[in-house]
Amino acid sequence: DRDTDKKRIEELLEENMVLEIAQKQSMNESAHLGWELEQLSKSTDLADSEKSFVFELNECASSRILKLEKDNQSLQNTIQELRDASLTSRESSLKFVELEKENQQLSKKV
């Protein structure tokens, strides 16, 4: 059981790292899209057709940013769930060790 718990903790920690990397990538992409949006909004000397294109691009970028923010929130929730599961697993391991000690003590008394 201890080995299983240790293995599960390792798996959760590994999955946690993967999610954190994905979250950082999502945040970087969001920041980059924000920068692109800002650069495009600074271009005020565009022709009307170009302004329409920029507006459409801004809408797409804004939509993408919102999607990335939702993804980021979902990843943060998953990370928290994994942390909670890891904590629960650790608590179970500790409880198992305590019960094992108690069992040994009772065996000695018997």
| Tokens representing residue 96 in the block | 């198992």
Structural domain harbouring 12: 1-109
pTM > 0.75: no
If we measure between CA atoms, which residue out of 99, 85, 82 comes closest to residue 2? 99
- Detail the DSSP E strand segments found in the chain: none
What secondary structure letter does DSSP report for 47?
-
pLDDT on residue 108: 92
If one counts the domains in the chain, the total is 1
pLDDT on residue 46: 57
Amino acid making up residue 54: V
- Detail the DSSP E strand segments found in 7-101: none
Neighbours of 43 (CB within 10 A): 10
What's the pLDDT tens digit per position in 4-25? Answer: 889 988 999 999 999 999 999 9
What secondary structure letter does DSSP report for 64?
H
What b-and-e string marks burial along 5-27, b requiring 16 or more CB atoms within 10 Å of the CB? beebbeebeeebeebeeebeebe
What's the pLDDT tens digit per position in 40-95? Answer: 777 655 556 666 777 888 888 888 888 889 998 998 998 898 888 888 888 888 89
